[in-house]
């Protein structure tokens, strides 16, 4: 199935969890990144959510900025 990841379509396995997706992306360190799922920012304990078709995921981090 396809989801929208950081603004782009991405094919992922059915029934994949957000945690597994982060592992695949290599950004599992939840202290560095956080996830917005269909408009809701998730806590670290909510990453076991199973993704659905056309879900919108943003993987975001705080960075230096002025």
Partner 1 sequence: MDDFLLIGGKKISNRFFLGTGKFASNELMRKAIEESKVEVVTVALRRVDGGEKNENILDFIPKSCIVMSNTSGARNADEAVRIARIAKAAGMGNWVKIEVISDAKYLLPDNLETIKATEILAKEGFVVMPYFNPDLMDARRLRDAGAATVMPLGAPIGTNKGLKTKEIIQIIVNEINLPVVVDAGIGRPSQAAEAMELGCAAVLANTAVALAQDPVKTAVAFSLGVQAGRFAFVAGIAQEKNIAEASSPLTGFLQD
Query: With CB under 8 A as the contact rule, which of the stretches 12-20, 45-53, 55-63 interacts with partner 1?
Result: 55-63
Please, what is the minimum distance in Å from the beta carbon of residue 44 to partner 1?
11
Choice between 5 and 51, CB closer to partner 1: 5
In whole angstroms, what is the distance from residue 3 CA to residue 63 CA? Answer: 25
Residue 46 touching partner 1 (CB under 8 A): no
Please, what is the minimum distance in Å from the beta carbon of residue 40 to partner 1?
8
Q: Residue 11: count other Cβ atoms within 10 Å of its Cβ.
A: 8
In whole angstroms, what is the distance from residue 10 CA to residue 46 CA? Answer: 21
């Amino acid at each position: 199935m396809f989801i929208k990841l950081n603004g782009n379509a991405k094919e992922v396995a059915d029934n994949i969890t957000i945690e597994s997706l982060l592992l695949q992306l290599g950004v599992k360190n939840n202290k560095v990144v956080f996830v917005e799922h269909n408009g809701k920012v998730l806590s670290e304990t909510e990453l076991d959510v199973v993704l659905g078709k056309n879900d919108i995921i943003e993987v975001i981090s705080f960075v230096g900025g002025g």
